[in-house]
Structure 1
Amino acid sequence: MPSRPLPADRLADLLASDRGLSEAEAAERRARFGSNDILEAPPGGWRDLLRDTARDPMIWFLVGVALLFALLGDYVEAAVLAAALLPLAGMDAYLHRRTRASTEGLASRLAASATVRRDGGFRVVPARELVPGDLVEVAPAEAFPADGLVVSGAGLQVDESSLTGEAAPMRKRPLPAEAGLPGEAAAAHWGFAGTRLLAGRATLRVAYTGGSTLYGEIVRSALAGSHARTPLQQAIGRLVTVMLAAALAFCTLLAAIRLVQGHGLVDALISAVTLGVAALPEEFPVVFTVFLGVGVYRLARRQALVRRAVAVENVGRVTCICSDKTGTLTEGRLELSHAVPAEDLTVERLVGLAALAARADSGDPLDAALLATASPGVAAQRLAGFAFTEQRRRETAVLRLPDGTCLAVVKGAPETVFERCADPPAALAAWRERVTAYATTGHKVIACASRPLRAGEPAEAEPEAGYRLAGLLAFEDRLREGVREAVDDCRRAGIRVVMVTGDHPATAEAIAREIGLGGDRPTVVGADAFDAAAFDAATLDAAGGAPAGALLAAADVVARAAPAQKLALVQALQRAGEIVAVTGDGVNDVPALQAADIGIAMGERGTQSAREVAAIVLLDDNFRTIVRAVAEGRQLFLNLQLSFAYLLLIHIPLVLSAALVPLIGHPLLYLPIHIVWLELIIHPTAMLVFQQRPGSGRLLPTARQRRPRFFGPATWLALGLGGLALALIVTFGFERALGPAQDVGHARAMALGALIAAGAAVTVVLGGPATRIAAIVVSASLASLGLLVQVPALARLVHLSPLHLADWGLAAAAAVVAGLAALAVAACLRRSL
C-alpha cells in the first residue's frame, strides 16, 4: 500500500492531540468535506432493476406477441408466452445484479457504524456521519470506517486484501506523536476504509472520507467506468445500427413474401417480428459494457486505479511503455554508497558541503539521502537558494558562515558543475573518468563544488563560475523486485520498453543492462538528440516514419530527459504507430501524460495534477504493476473477443435458418417461445462464461494496430463459414424431420436440438469447462433441451415433438461441426495476437 499525504487543512493541530470533535465542529466539517459516503446512491435498487429490465427488447417482444395471441383468442399460447416472462425477467434481474457484483462486493465490506469521540465521550454513530478530524476507535474484527492515521494501538494486524489482493495480514503501528505533521505518512501508519482489523484495538484519526478514500476512488471509478463510451464501444454502436437497419429491411421483405405466399397477415407479422428479435444484436453493446466494468475492478485489484473506462480498452493494446526509472523501475530510495573528496578535503567535509545545498522540503530522494548521511556541521545562514530544474541540472546555495564570510555551494549533474569550475583541465578530465566509472556500474553521480564570495559580490545573484571542485558523490537506487522478469515478459509479448531518465547516460545504460532492457548492449540516446524539432512531420516524412534517421527505432534508453523532450518522444512514438503508455509523477509530466494513449500517474509520489490527468493511477508506483495491468487488459480483450465470437457463431445460423425456412414456403421455424428459450441460454453464456474465463498467467502478445478492431479477416472468414455451415445443418435437420408427414413440431425440435447442441459445443471450446459457471450454463442448456423436447407434456406446451435416436445423432454432428468452427476461430485469434 502507498504512503499518503497528510492534509493539513483537515488535521491541523489534532494529530498530536487525544481530543475528539464537538458536534458543532463535526457539522461544520461535514458541510465542508461532505458525508462519508463511498457511493453517492447505492446502485442495484428495485427502481434501477425495473428500469434496466424495461430496456430489454425481449420483454416487449413477449408482451406484444402475447397480447396479439390473446386478441386472436389463442389464450393458451398467450398464457405460455406470459409465463415465459418470469424466467426472462428473472434472468435480467440476475444479470443486473451480477454486473454490479464487484462494486457491491466492495461496498459490502464498508463499516456501517463507527465508535467516535464527540463532545468529550465515545458514542456509536452511522459511519456516513464521520468527518475528517474525527477520533475513532476500531475493535478487533471491525472494519476501518474511513482512511485515517493510527494514533494508538499495539500488536495491530489488518486484513487489506480488499485493496491489495494480498491475503497476509499487514502490521500497523501508531504514528509517533513527536513527528508533528509531516508531509506524508507511510502505509504502516494508515488504516484504510474497507480493510478489517484482525488483532489489537486501534485509535484512528480520520483524514479522508467518502470518495477521497482509496476505497472510494476504486468504487467510484468502477461505476463511472462502466458507463463511459470508448472508441470500441462507439464502433460497436455503429455496427449495431447497421445490423438493425439490415434486420428491419430483411424483416419487411420476409413479411411481404409470406403475404404473397398466402399465409395471412398474422403469420406475416409474427414471422417478421420473430426474425427481427432473433437478429437483434442487443447483446453486443451490453456484453462490452459489462466487460468494461469488470476490467475496472480487476485492474484495481492489480493496484492500478482506473480513472476513465477507455483505459481498460487501451491498456490491453499497449505496444510501448515509456517508463520513469526512479521509483518505478527502482525503489526510489537513494543511499550514498561512495564519496570521493578532493585531495585537501575529507569525506565528512564533502558530504557536509553537499548537504548545505540540499533542502529538507524539496521532496528529492537525493536531498533526503544527503541530509540523512551528513553529520551535524557548522551552523550556516542560508542567504539565497537557486533550485534544481531540468534545464539547470544543478542547485546552488549562498550561505553566511559563522566567521561572517559568504560561501556559494553548488551540487548537481557532474558535467554541469564541471563547466563552472576553475580547476585545471587535466584534473577535470580525471574527474570525468571517475564519473564514467561509477555511472557504468549503475550509480547516480553528482558533483559538488564551492567558492567564497568576494567582498561586495551580491549574495542574491548565483555565481556562474570560479568554483573549486569538492568531489563526487555516488548513490545507489536498488531495483524493484520482479522488474527484470516484467521487462522480459514485455519483450516476449512484443511490447517495447523505453526507460526515460534524467540520469547520466552511463548510469542509465548500467541500469538498463541490469534489468535486461535491450540485451547486453542497450542503445542509450541522450535527450538532446530528441529535441522537438527532430520530431516534426517533415522529419518523419524524410526518414520514412523513423525520426532522426531511425534513432527513435533503436533507442532503449533516453537519458538526461527533460519534460519537453519526454512529450516529443511520446508524440514521435505515436506517429510511428505505437500505442504508448507513459508514466509520470510531477506537474512537468502532465503534457506527456495527456498526450499518451495511456497516462499512468504514480499514486505514492505523484502530484495531484499528474493524478488528475492520468487515465490510470498506480497505487504502488511499480513497473511490474504496469505490466500486470497490461496483461489483465489483454486477457480481458481476448475474453471479449471469445464472447463476441460465440454470439456470432450462434446468431448467424439462428438468423439464417429463421429466414430461410419461411422463405422457401415452410411454416415458421422458431416461434416466439423458442426465441425466448434460446435467449435464456445465449444471454448468461455471453455475459458470464467468458467474463470469468481464466487467463494463461502470462502476458499475451497482441497485434499492433492504432485503430481498434475485434477480428481480423481470417477470423471473420472462419466465423462466416462456421455460421453458414451450422445454418445449413439446422435447415437440413428441419427438412429431414419434417418429412412427408409434415410434422412441424418434430422438425422444430430437430432444428432447436441441433442449434442448442452446437451452442454448447462452442461454449466448451471457446469458454472452456474449467469454470463453475461454464459447467452450469452448458449443463443447464442441455438439460433444458432434454426436458422440453423429450418430455411429451412439456414438448406439447412449447409446440415440439420428441426426437428419435437418429435425430440426436444429427444434433451431435451439429455439435461436432460447431466445435470445429470454434477451434478454427480460436486458432485465428491466436495467430492474430
Structure 2
Amino acid sequence: MAARRQRYGRNNILEAPSYTWAELCRNTVSDPMLWFLVCTSVLYLVLGQPVEGWTLLAAIVPLAGMDAWLHHRTRASMEGLSHQLAEHAVVLREGTLQRVEATDVVVGDLVEVAAGEPFPADGLVVAGEGLQTEESSLTGESQPVRKRPLRGELPPGNDPLVEWTHWGLAGTRLLTGRAVLRAVFTGEETLYGRITRTATRHQRARTPLQAAVQGLVAILLAAAASFCGVLAFVRWRQGYGWLDAMVSAATLAVAALPEEFPVALTFFLGSGVYRLARRRALVKRAVSVENIGRVTCICMDKTGTLTEGQLRVASCLPMAQVSPARLLHAASRASRPENGDPLDGAIAAAASAQGPTAPPSEVLALFPFTEERRRETAVVREDDGLWAFTKGSPEVVLAACTLSPEERAEWRHEVEAQAAQGRKVIACAEQRLDAHGWLGGEPLRGLRFLGLVVCADPVRPGVAESIAACHRAGIHLVMVTGDHPETARAVAREIGLGGEAPSLLLGEELEARLSQTGGVLPRNLDIIARTLPAQKLELVRALQASGEVVAVTGDGVNDVPALQAADVGIAMGERGTRSAREVASIVLLDDNLHSIVGAIAEGRQLFHNLRTSFQYLLLIHIPLVVTAALIPLAGYPLLYMPIHVIWLELIIHPTALLAFQDAASPEALRPSERPVQVRFFSRGDWAAVCVSSVVLVGVMVLGYEWSLGGHRNVEHARAMAMVALTVASAGFCALLSGLRTRLAKLICAATLASALVLVQVPALARLLHLSPLHVMDWGWAIAGGAMACLPLLPRLFLPWQRPRPTPQVPPGTPRPSRRSGFKWPRQTHG
C-alpha cells in the first residue's frame, strides 16, 4: 500500500487554490481603473477641490474589498465542491475492514460503499446486487443509473475499455444496495478531479463594455492632458502671465476629466443588478448585467431548467376493467420508496394522491429488482387474501402474464410509443395466491396484467413560451443533457425547440466533428445528448470562437467548467449544487427559464440606456472641452471660470445618471435590436456625435464672439455661450431619452430653468460673472442649441446594429494523462 501511495499520491481530489493574497494584491494594483482613480483624485487635490479628491480616493476601498471578496468566494467555491465528496471510506486491508480518511484511499484498494454514501474514488464495481447510483450532479443523467459488478476477466489489451455500468465515480452517490469498489483512479485523475481542476484554472476575460469604457476614458484623459499643456504654454506666450496660464489649464482639466463615464457605468450596472433581482435573478458580478444583454446563444441544461428535475407519474394506462387506482395500488405494493429509489418514490406519491392506502397486514416475501431479473415482486397478505404484486420491465412482465398474442403485441406497441417520447414505462401485474398452496417462491407465470405506469420528468410551466420568446429575439438555443437521446428529443418537441424534427448530436459525435472541422459547429444544432463535462466545455468554446455570446445554465458539478467558461454562467438556486452557484455569475432564485428571458431583456435595455447616457456625455463633453481650449487659444478671455464648470457638472451628472433609466419593454427582445456590439458605438453613432459637437462648437464660438463685440463685454459673451450649451444639453436629453420617464422631463425642465434663473436674475448673474441676455440673444441661443440636435434625428429611427465581433478562442484545457490500464468508455451510458 505504501508503494502504491508513493506512486499515485494521496487521494486529494481537490487541492487548495494557489491564488494567494500576494497575487491578489498584484492583480489589484495592476487594475487600470485603480490608477485612474488615484491620478484623478491627486489632480483634484492639486486643483484645490479636496472633497472630490478624497471621495475618489475613498472609492479605492470598495474596489479592493471586491477583489478580497472574490478571493474569499474562490475558496468558498472549493469548499462547496468538497461537499460532494466522501470524507471517510471503509476499505479492506490485511483481511479486515478498516474505516479510514477518504484521502488515504489508494489505487487498488477494495472499498465497501453502503446505500446513501458517496464513492471515495473512481473504480470498478466488483460486487453488489440491486445497485443504483445518483449521477446527475456529475454527468447530468436525471434518472438513477444501474450498476452491475464486473464479472470474469478484463477485456484484453493494455488499455481495456470497460463499460460505464461497471464504474463507480467520486462525487456520485450510491442509492440502493451495497457495493464493493476496486479503486482505479484517485485524486486529480478522477473525473471529478478533472472537472474541478478545469474550473479553478479558468480565467475570466474582460467584457467588451469594460474594455470600451476603459479605452474611451484613456483617450479622453490623453486628449485632456495634451490640451491642458498646450493651453498653458500658449496663454503664457500670449503674455497673459503664469497665473492666467495655470488657471486656464486648471479650468480645462476640471472640465475635461471624464469621471462621469466610470461613475455612469457603475451606476447603471447597479441599477441592472436591482432590476434583475426583481426578476428573481441574483447577480453576483455586476458586469454580468452587460453580458446577459449581449447573449446570442443559450446552452440549456435539461434537468432542472427545462424540466422540474423530479420523476413523477405522468399517466396510467390500465387494462380494460382495471381502475387506475388498482394499477397504482399494485405498483406501490411492489415498491420500496424508503430505499431512495426515485421511481419507487414517484409511484408511492401518485398512489397516495389517489387516497389513503391501507398498509398490508403482512409482507411475506420480497423479490428485489436486479439487472438479470428486471422486475420486483412483493407477496403480501391483505384483508381479502394473499396477493403477489409485480412491476418491472414491460418485456419481462408481459411474458409472465396471461395475454393473447394480439393483446401482447398491442401493449408492446404502446410501450414503444411511450418510450419514443422519452418516458420511463413500468408494467404491473398481480396474482391471487392460495394461502395454503403457496410454497414461498416467486410467481413466474399466469399473472394478471394490470397495465402500464408511465413516469417522466415533467416540463416546467411556461418553458414553451420562453423558448418562443427567445426564438423571436433571434437567440440560438441548444439543449445540453446527459440523458438518453429520445428523452431529449421528446422534451424538445414538447417545448418547441427545433420543431418536429430537432437536430441532435451525441456528445462523442460533437467532439469528433469539432476535431474534424477545426472547431466549426454544424448549423441549426438543437440538442447535444449523452454529454460529458469536457464536451460541454468544448461546445461553449466553439460557440464563442464562432462569435456567439454564450450563456450556460446548470445545476451540477458537471456544469462547473462550462459555467466558468461561458460569458454568462447561470446557476439554479433551488436545486443547484453549491459549487455551481459559486462559480456562476447569475443565480436564478426560481430555476425558471422565463427569468432568463426577462434578464436578457433587462440586459439589452441596460446596454441601450448606458450607450445613450454615454452618447449624451460625449455630446456635452466634446464641445465643453473644445470651447474651453479653443477660445483662450485664440487670444480671447477665458470662457469658463471654475464656478461655470461646477454649474455644468450639476447639470451633466443627474442627466447622465437619471434621465436614461428606461425600463425593459417587449421591444428590447426584437431581433433587429440585438445590442451585442464589441465596439460601444457604431460609426454612425460617432458621426452623429461629431457633427453635433462641431455644430454646437460653432454656435458657441460665433455667439461668444458676436456677444463680445467691440466693448469686450466678457460677461455677456459668457452668458451667451453658457445658455447655448445648456439649451443644447436639454435638447440632447429630450431627443435621446424620448421624454419617456418623469425624471427625463423633470431634468430637461430643470436644465432650462437653471439657465433662465442664473442668467436673468442680476444678483445671481453677477455672482457667476455673467450678464442678462436680451430676447434676441435667447432666440439665437435656442436656435443654435436646436441646430446642434438636428444630426441626432436620423439616428433615433435606426435600429441597433450587430457588428461582426472578433472571435477570441480561449486556450484549450490540457487532458490529464492516464496512469493505469483502465479507461472510461467514450459513450457514458448504455
TM-score band, normalised by shorter chain: 0.5 to 0.7
* Cα gap change, 1:827 to 1:749, in 2 (>3 Å): same
Contact 2:604/2:674 (<8 A) preserved: no
Per-residue displacement from partner, 1:298-328 (whole Å, max 9, x unpaired)?
Answer: 1111101112223222111111122234443
Query: How far, CA to CA, are the matches of 2:577 and 2:365 in structure 1?
Result: 31
Contact 1:648 / 1:719 at 8 angstroms: preserved in 2? yes
Higher deviation after alignment, 475-484 or 708-717: 475-484
The offset of 1:641, in angstroms, is 0.7
**Residues 554-591 of structure 1: per-residue CA shift (max 9 Å, x gap):** 22234455555444433332233222212222223323
Find the counterpart in structure 1 of residue 468 from structure 2: 488
1:814 Cα deviation after fit = 2.9
Give TM-score, length-normalised by structure 1: 0.61
Q: How far apart are the structure 1 equivalents of 2:663 and 2:752?
A: 23
Q: Which residue of 2 aligns with 1:371?
A: 348
Q: Verify: 1:279 aligned to 2:263, yes or no.
A: no
| Cα distance in 2, alignment partners of residues 805 and 261 from structure 1 | 35
Specify the alignment match of 1:304 in structure 2. Answer: 281
1:315 to 1:560, Cα distance in 2 relative to 1, 3 A:
same
Counterpart-to-counterpart distance in 2, 1:428 and 1:246: 85
Higher deviation after alignment, 752-761 or 286-295: 286-295
* Cα contact 2:549–2:567 (8 A) shared by 1: yes
Instruction: Please say if residues 320 and 495 of structure 1, whose CA atoms lie closer than 8 Å, have aligned partners that are also in contact.
Output: yes
The structure-2 alpha-carbon separation of the partners of 1:733 and 1:640, relative to structure 1 and needing over 3 Å to count, comes to: same
Task: Give the equivalent residue in structure 2 for 1:695.
Answer: 664
> How do 1:346-425 and structure 2 match up within 5 A?
359-360=337-338, 362=340, 364=342, 366-373=343-350, 379=363
CA contact (8 A) 1:730 1:754 kept: yes
By relative contact order (CA 8 Å, sep 6+), the higher-ranking structure is: 2
Instruction: Give the one of 787, 790, 797 matched to 1:820.
Output: 790
Q: 2:746 matched to 1:772?
A: no
What is the alpha-carbon distance in structure 2 between the residues aligned to residue 627 and residue 489 of structure 1?
Answer: 7
How many residues in Structure 1 have an aligned counterpart in Structure 2? 591
Deviations 1:457-513 (A, max 9, x none): xxxxxxxxxxxx998542355544433332222112111122334555555445434
| Residue 540 (structure 1) aligns with | 518
The 5 Å alignment of 1:103-502 reads 232-332=209-309, 334-339=311-316, 359-360=337-338, 362=340, 364=342, 366-373=343-350, 379=363, 433-438=413-418, 444-446=423-425, 473-475=453-455, 478-501=458-481
State the Cα distance separating 1:808 from its structure 2 match. Answer: 1.3
Deviations 1:737-787 (A, max 9, x none): 122222111111111111110001111111232333223322222111111
Distance 1:587 1:570, change over 3 A: same
Q: Cα gap change, 1:669/1:635 in structure 2, threshold over 3 Å: closer, same or farther?
A: same
Contact 2:607 2:675 survives alignment (8 Å): no
Output the CA distance in 2 between the equivalents of 1:785 and 1:89.
28
Corresponding residue for residue 142 of structure 2? none
What's the secondary structure of 1:490's corresponding residue?
Answer: helix
Counterparts in 2 of 1:436 and 1:400: CA distance versus 1, 3 Å = closer
Unpaired segments of 5 or more residues in structure 2? 1-33, 63-204, 352-356, 382-387, 430-448, 804-830
Q: Which amino acid aligns with 1:321?
A: I
Q: Distance in 2 between matches of 1:57 and 1:485?
A: 51
Checking the alignment, whether the CA contact within 8 Å between 1:585 and 1:601 is kept in structure 2 is: yes
Cα distance in structure 2, aligned partners of 1:493 and 1:610: 27
How big is the shift at 1:238? Answer: 3.7
3-state secondary structure, aligned to 1:328: helix
Q: Please, which of 612, 617, 621 is the counterpart of residue 587 of structure 2?
A: 617
Q: What is the CA–CA distance in structure 2 between the aligned matches of 1:697 and 1:643, rounded to whole Å?
A: 21
Contact 2:44 2:53 in 1 (8 A): no
Contact 2:293 2:676 in 1 (8 A): no
- 1:679 and 1:398 map into 2 onto residues whose CA distance is 78
Between the aligned partners of 1:281 and 1:633, the Cα distance in structure 2 is 24
Counterparts in 2 of 1:643-662, with a 5 A limit?
643-662=613-632
Instruction: Tell me which amino acid in the other structure corresponds to 1:532.
Output: E
* 8 Å contact kept, 1:357–1:397: no
Aligned to 1:462: none
Q: Provide the residue aligned with 2:756 in structure 1.
A: 786
Q: Is 1:608 aligned with 2:578? A: yes
Query: What are the Cα deviations for residues 595-645 of structure 1, in whole angstroms up to 9, with x where unaligned?
Result: 322222212222222222222111111111111111111111111111111
Q: Which structure: larger Rg?
A: 2
Counterpart position of 2:611: 641
Pair 258,411 (structure 1): closer, same or farther in 2 beyond 3 Å:
farther
What is the DSSP-based 3-state SS (H/G/I as helix, E as strand, rest coil) of the residue aligned with 1:497? strand
CA distance in 2 between partners of 1:694 and 1:816 (Å): 27
Is contact 1:357-1:411 (8 Å) kept? no
Tell me if the contact between 1:445 and 1:472 (Cα under 8 Å) persists in the aligned partners: no
Aligned AA (2:472): R
Measured against aligned partners, the alpha-carbon deviations of 1:656-680 in whole angstroms (never above 9, x if no partner) come to 1111111221111111111111011
Letter in 1 for 2:732: V
Structure 2 counterparts to residues 647-726 of structure 1, below 5 A: 647-690=617-660, 692-701=661-670, 708-726=678-696
TM-score w.r.t. the length of structure 2 is: 0.61
Q: Provide the C-alpha distance between the structure 2 equivalents of 1:369 and 1:325, rounded to a whole number of angstroms.
A: 19
* Alignment partner, residue 755 of structure 1: 725
Q: Does 1:801 align with 2:780?
A: no
For the aligned residue pairs, the C-alpha RMSD in angstroms reads: 4.7
Cα gap change, 1:381 to 1:315, in 2 (>3 Å): farther
The separation in 2 between residues aligned to 1:580 and 1:707, in whole angstroms, is 14
Letter of the structure 2 residue corresponding to residue 444 of structure 1? R
Query: Structure 2: how far apart are the matches of 1:498 and 1:436?
Result: 27
Q: How does 1:588-607 map to 2 (within 5 A)?
A: 588-607=558-577
Tell me, in whole angstroms, the C-alpha distance in 1 between the residues paired with 2:738 and 2:587. 33
Task: Report if the CA contact (8 A) 1:58-1:676 is conserved.
Answer: no
**Residue 694 and residue 312 in structure 1: after superposition, are their counterparts in 2 closer, same or farther (change >3 A)?**
closer
